[in-house]
């Protein structure tokens, strides 16, 4: 495997994903807190960083067991760090070097640039520049503005590059990472979904033995894939629980439950609608709604799980981005919304936790799901928040508002499917606004609800932009909602990006 040491760059996860795309396993760890280097580690990559090496509190990794001992690749900060600390000079550059550049000089002999073309485009993003290299450092690539764009340390398999190979705009970045990981580190490209399934199922069998395991299914991709993997490993010792919290999409509970049963999963469907609705009565504050929904889920789940005799493990569909302990430059990031819906569940239930997907990125979960023959219908589903329609009803939740919103949402989502737009959208939904507006229907004046349609493109939900859905489509959906859903007389379309807005309205 490849070890990636994180210095807090926004691109660190991307390095990990690029390496994984080469079917090579890698792990990301904070630069100041990484596991021991054993024989499984074939090479190390140092990430970029928002810090300057000249900052007083600049990250100082301990490379004593790495540098000169196994292949090492410094990217951006990683490159500057080694130059600065081993006798070179790093200074602020006159102009920030940012954006596209071309490698006008490449050392064709260098393994790092194998099969790469002269003048290949690379992406720069740095405020400092390596002015002078230490003595035994050799320049292996330059751009017009950046002489020391890449170097190798003589006598070591240590390489460093000033540009970012992981970003899309570095056209041959993947080739460079492949040269490093395969040719220089000697990694095999054998980390595929099938090999992941094989080793994970074997590990789960070993770990869980004859123990009973309980898993909460949500209808989402992660919990579904986790469920199928566990099912392959331990069969009937896995019990799944799927809770109807009264805040799901229209017919979602029934149809998802059916798909799960079709896949052979042992799943208990719990109708807890009334409990959630009762507890949410009169609550308008979004965070309070989230807390109540999270707490109710734990209560319902706990009661059901205790009906299973001798259950020892709680399985969760946690994925890698939730696990990576990223180096945070500004301290723990402020809680904008409390997204951890079921935090506290394991503690409360006194169960051991098993998380079969905690090494996978989202796209890998989908690939694994595909290799497990899970239907595209389930794998391709848009993300849906844990608190569901509870946070799409702005103001207090009532069963009647849930019904109205379910109807409108179904028209919108089914419309996206019919118009073949569903897969072009990352996430979509309808918000029921706490606003009434005047309308006319026939000769009557109406005073009814407004809904907002939201459809966004994103890769990870961190940033998002609204989708430019065709006007004809929006017209159809609007018409259909106003004509068919009693209680709604006005439809608007949300054209805000994140940031500064968010995807959900609460």
Residue 210, C-beta contacts closer than 8 angstroms, at least 6 positions apart = 237
Which residues 6+ apart lie within 8 Å of 312 measured at CB?
211, 212, 213, 351, 352
In whole angstroms, the minimum distance from the beta carbon of 417 to ligand XMP comes to 19
- Quote the CA–CA distance of 469 and 391 in Å, as a whole number: 24
- Of the candidates 26, 84, 126, 164, the residue annotated as catalytic is 164
* Residue 291 sits in the site that holds ligand XMP (CB under 6 A): no
Q: What's the burial of 33, exposed, middle or buried (CB within 10 Å: 0-12/13-18/19+)?
A: exposed
Is position 249 an interface residue for ligand XMP (rule: CB under 6 A)?
no
**Which C-beta is closer to ligand XMP: that of 290 or that of 362?**
290
Least gap, CB of 384 to ligand XMP (angstroms): 7
Residues 449-478 that bind ligand XMP (CB under 6 A): 461
187 is catalytic: no
73 is a site residue for ligand XMP (CB under 6 A): no
Using CB under 6 A, pick the residue from 8, 59, 227, 386 that binds ligand XMP.
Answer: 386
Whole-angstrom distance, CA of residue 360 vs CA of residue 332: 23
Residue 341 engages ligand XMP in binding (rule: CB under 6 A):
yes
407 part of the interface to ligand XMP, by CB under 6 A: no
User: Site for ligand XMP (CB under 6 A): which residue of 387, 407, 412, 432?
Assistant: 387
Considering the complex, state which of residue 50 and residue 383 has its C-beta at the smaller distance from ligand XMP: 383
Which of 169, 381, 476, 498 lies at the binding interface for ligand XMP (CB under 6 A)? 498
Q: Does the footprint of ligand XMP cover residue 381 (CB under 6 A)?
A: no
CB of 252 to ligand XMP, least distance (A): 15
Q: Is the distance from CB of 17 to CB of 361 less than 8 angstroms?
A: yes
**Total residues interacting with ligand XMP, rule: CB under 6 A:** 14
Give yes or no for a cis peptide into 152 (omega within 30° of 0). no
Q: Which candidate, 109, 345, 97, places its Cα nearest to that of 215?
A: 345
Of 1, 111, 212, 337, the one binding ligand XMP by CB under 6 A: 337
For the CB of residue 498, give the shortest distance to ligand XMP in the complex, in Å. 5
Q: How many residues does the chain have?
A: 506
Going residue by residue from 423 to 442, which x/- string records binding to ligand XMP, judged by CB under 6 A? ----x---------------
Which of 258, 268, 259, 263 has the alpha carbon at shortest distance from 216? Answer: 268
**Residue 218 binds to ligand XMP (criterion: CB under 6 A):** no
- Order the strands of the 352-354 sheet from edge to edge: 267-271, 238-244, 212-217, 311-315, 352-354
Q: Report in angstroms the alpha-carbon separations of 297 from 197, 219, 245, 303, 400.
A: 30, 15, 8, 10, 21
Nearest to 86 by CA among 50, 129, 132: 132
Contact 415, 477 (CB under 8 A): yes
| Cβ proximity of 430 and 417 under 8 Å | no
Q: Has 172 been annotated as catalytic?
A: no
Nearest distance, CB of residue 14 and ligand XMP, angstroms = 19
- Cβ nearer to ligand XMP, comparing 89 with 465: 465
- CA dist., res. 394 & res. 422, Å (int): 25
Is 385 a binder of ligand XMP (CB under 6 A)? yes
- Choose the catalytic residue: 26, 84, 166, 231: 166
Positions marked active-site: 76, 164, 166
Chain contacts with ligand XMP (rule: CB under 6 A): 290, 337, 339, 341, 383, 385-387, 427, 461, 498, 502-504
């Amino acid at each position: 495997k490849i070890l990636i040491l994180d210095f807090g760059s926004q691109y660190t996860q991307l390095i990990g994903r690029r390496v994984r795309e080469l079917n090579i396993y890698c792990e990301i760890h904070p630069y100041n807190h990484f596991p021991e280097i054993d024989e499984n580690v074939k090479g190390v990559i140092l990430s970029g960083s928002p810090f300057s090496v000249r900052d007083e509190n600049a990250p100082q990794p301990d490379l004593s067991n790495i540098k000169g001992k196994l292949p090492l690749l410094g990217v951006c900060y990683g490159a500057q760090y080694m130059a600065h600390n081993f006798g070179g000079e790093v200074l602020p550059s006159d102009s920030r070097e940012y954006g596209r550049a071309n490698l006008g000089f490449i050392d064709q002999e260098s393994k790092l640039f194998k099969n790469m073309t002269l003048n290949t485009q690379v992406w720069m993003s740095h405020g400092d520049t390596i002015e002078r290299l230490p003595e035994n450092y050799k320049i292996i690539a330059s751009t017009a503005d950046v002489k020391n764009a890449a170097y190798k340390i003589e006598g070591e398999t240590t390489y460093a590059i000033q540009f970012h190979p992981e970003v899309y705009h570095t056209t041959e970045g993947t080739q460079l990472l492949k040269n490093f990981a395969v040719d220089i580190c000697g990694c095999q490209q054998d980390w595929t979904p099938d090999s992941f399934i094989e080793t994970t199922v074997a590990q789960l069998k070993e770990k869980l033995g004859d123990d009973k395991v309980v898993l909460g299914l949500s209808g989402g991709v992660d919990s579904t894939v986790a469920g199928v993997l566990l099912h392959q490993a331990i069969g009937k010792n896995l019990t799944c629980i799927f809770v109807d919290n009264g805040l799901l999409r229209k017919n979602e509970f029934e149809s998802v439950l059916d798909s799960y049963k079709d896949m052979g999963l042992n799943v208990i469907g719990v109708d807890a609608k009334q409990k959630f609705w009762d507890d949410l009565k009169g609550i308008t504050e979004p965070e309070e709604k989230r807390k109540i929904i999270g707490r109710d889920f734990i209560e319902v789940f706990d009661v059901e799980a205790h009906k299973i005799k001798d259950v020892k493990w709680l399985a969760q569909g946690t994925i890698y981005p939730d696990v990576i302990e990223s180096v945070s430059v500004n301290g723990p990031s402020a809680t904008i919304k409390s997204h951890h819906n079921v935090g506290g569940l394991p503690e409360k239930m006194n169960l051991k936790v098993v998380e079969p997907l905690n090494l996978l990125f989202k796209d890998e979960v989908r690939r694994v799901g595909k290799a497990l023959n899970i239907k595209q219908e389930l794998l391709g589903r848009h993300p849906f928040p844990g608190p569901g329609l509870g946070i799409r009803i702005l103001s207090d939740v009532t069963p009647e508002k849930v019904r109205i919103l379910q109807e409108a949402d179904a028209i919108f989502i089914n419309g996206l499917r019919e118009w073949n737009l569903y897969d072009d959208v990352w996430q979509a939904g309808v918000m029921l606004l706490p606003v009434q507006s005047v309308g006319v229907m026939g000769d009557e004046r109406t005073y009814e609800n407004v809904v907002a349609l939201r459809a966004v493109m994103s890769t990870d939900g961190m940033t998002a932009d609204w989708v430019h859905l065709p006007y004809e489509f929006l017209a159809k959906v609007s018409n259909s909602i106003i004509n068919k859903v009693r209680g709604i007389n006005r439809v608007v379309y949300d054209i805000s990006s994140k940031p500064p807005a968010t995807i959900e309205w609460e």
